[in-house]
Amino acid sequence: MRIAAFQRFPIFDDAEAAADAILSDLLWADAHGVDLALFSESYLQGHSYRQSLIESRALSLDSPAFLSILEKLAPTRATAIVGCFERRGEAVFNSAVVIEAGVLRGTYAKAYPIESGCAPGTDFPVWSRAGRTFGINICNDTNYPDAADRLVAQGVDLICCPINMVLRPIKAEIWREESLEHMRSCARRTKRWYMCCDAVGENPDGWFGYGCTAIIAPDGSVMGKAVEGVEDVVMADLP
C-alpha cells in the first residue's frame, strides 16, 4: 500500500478552490501509484475555532455543493481523506470524509473536538484499501488513547491523522518539535503505522504553522517528514 500526505497552505471559505487543489493532488497521486492520500484537518473550508465561522462553513454531505465536489473528483483513483466541517441537521462536526473515485465511502467525526460548537463523534469506522485496513483520528483525538484503541481493536494497520497546528506564534514554536514526538509516541504505543497531515503557513489572524506532516512506522521511526514552512508531499510504502 502506497500512502501520501499532502502538506498545503490553508484555503479559507472557498470549497470549490480547495476541491480543485485536491483534484490536482489526487491526479499527481494517481500518476505516482498512491493508494491512499491524506489532507489536513478542515482543509475543505479552512480551520477555525470560532463557532460563527464554523457554522457558516459547514456543509451537509448531501448538499449540491458537496455533491459537485464528489463529481469533480470522479476521475481520480486514489482514496482520499479530506478534513471538513460537516453539518448534520442542527449539529456541526469536525469530520474527515473518505472519497474514492468521486464516491463518498464514509465519514469520521472528531471524537474530542475543541472547536466551539462542534459536537463529538461517537463512531470509529474503518476502511480497507490495497489489502490494508485504516481508520482516522483527528488532531486532539490523539491525546485520548481510547480513540486509537477503538481502531486497533478493529485490526487497523494504519491510523490517519488530519491535524491543524496553525497556532498563535508562541504556541506554534512550542509545538514545533512536540507535535512529531507526540505522533511517534502514539505509533509506539499502538504498534501501528501513523500518517499525519498538517496545514502550513499563516491564517488571517496571523497565526502560523510550521507543518507537522509525517509518516511514522510502528516502532516510532520517522519514514518521511515534510519540509517545514512550505507545501510538500510525504510518501511511503507500507511493507
* pLDDT tens-digit series, residues 148-172: 999 999 999 999 999 999 999 999 9
Give the Cα separation of 180 and 211 in Å (integer): 10
Q: Residues of 80-95 as b/e, b for ≥16 C-beta within 10 angstroms?
A: bbbbbbbbeeeebbbb
- pTM exceeds cut of 0.75: yes
Among residues 220, 228, 36, 212, the alpha carbon closest in space to that of 132 is found at 36
By C-alpha distance, which of 43, 9, 22 is closest to 210? 9
Q: Which pLDDT belongs to residue 37?
A: 98
pLDDT of residue 144: 98
**Mean pLDDT computed over every residue of the chain:** 97
Report the SS3 class of residue 168.
Answer: coil
Render 64-109 in DSSP notation, one character per residue: HHHHHHHHHTTT--SEEEEEEEEEETTEEEEEEEEEETTEEEEEEE
The pLDDT value recorded for residue 122 is: 98
pLDDT tens, the chain, 239 aa long:
999 999 999 999 999 999 999 999 999 999 999 999 999 999 999 999 999 999 999 999 999 999 999 999 999 999 999 999 999 999 999 999 999 999 999 999 999 999 999 999 999 999 999 999 999 999 999 999 999 999 999 999 999 999 999 999 999 999 999 999 999 999 999 999 999 999 999 998 999 999 999 999 999 999 999 999 999 999 999 99
- C-alpha separations of 27 from 34, 63, 111, 153, 184 in Å: 10, 25, 31, 33, 30
Q: Which residue has the cell 451537509?
A: 60
Packing angle, helices 64-72 and 15-31, rounded to 10:
20
Which pLDDT value is given to residue 97?
98
Enumerate domains of the chain plus CATH numbers.
Answer: 2-237 (3.60.110.10)
**What is the per-residue pLDDT for 186?**
98
